[in-house]
Structure 1
Amino acid sequence: ARMITRPFPFNSFYTPNSPDLAPRIDPRDFVLNVTGLAERKDDWTLRQLYALPRFTQITRHVCIEGWSAIGKWTGVRFSDFLARVGADRHAKYVTFRCDDNYTTSIDMATALHPQTQLCFWMNDAVLPRQHGFPMTLRVPTKLGFKNPKHIGEIA
């Protein structure tokens, strides 16, 4: 915990690389869309997501640009979320479409890894806008570009 990086660096795929350009999402209107190979394709509100069992971990974020930082992240294990929505665990990939127009996917083995986490809090506070509010996916086993922010749809 004493090694947590403060302030945690900001980066993005858009240019200029500025936290001022991060999406402004109203928490009252936000819904997470679940699509793809899942039995339960209900939309999720932040209130529902925040009520899920919490898991906290301190992990290192490694950027493809050559820097790294340590953060404290709280949210739900992604494998638990996938179980709740009845995701087909035999699917090859899980795709994330984000409200900053970023799209990425991870393989199912990575999605089910015990450290892969949908995060709603960072350093014991609501996830800041520049770091992905309302949620980011933390994948400590992958480089940072595989950690989508501002997730609006999981397929």
Structure 2
Amino acid sequence: MLTIALLALLCASASANAIQLRSSSFNGEYGGSGGQRFSHSGNQLEGPITAIRVRVNNYYIVGLQVRYGKVWSDYVGGKQGDLEEIFLYPGESVIQVSGKYKRYLRKLVFVTDQHRYLAFGKDTGTSFNAAPLYPNTVLRFISGRAGSLINAIGLHWDYYPSECSSC
């Protein structure tokens, strides 16, 4: 009897892991090889992405900061350039990210499920287009590398959080 219970528990655990594997995906890193690594993986526990701050200069994406629920992530990148801030509508999610890079990130375009295109930066460099691998999943957090500029970005997708007390 104990063996059957243990086997059932093992199967349930494997099934839950398989479900998780089928919902999360990753795109990137897009950009150059320099900079210090950063990740907002822990920030996603605060809730869905609700706003994005991007600092840009004449040539590059200089810095990034993302609000998860009501909490802003740590700012990554440099201090030069103009700071732009976009708030998402309640329940709105990012479903695609495109952009351009060379040695550094040059352009970012966030596309939402409410058909908004939130564009930052200049239209030069190698293009990329990132979208989730699985249906009904959204951008949950970003990672990458940064120094005085954003060197590279990675995009992590999963289901929109079903319960969000801090949103």
Do both share a fold (TM > 0.5)?
A: no
Q: State the TM-score, normalized to the length of structure 1.
A: 0.28
Q: State the TM-score, normalized to the length of structure 2.
A: 0.27
Q: Say which structure, 1 or 2, has more relative contact order (CA 8 Å, 6+ apart).
A: 2
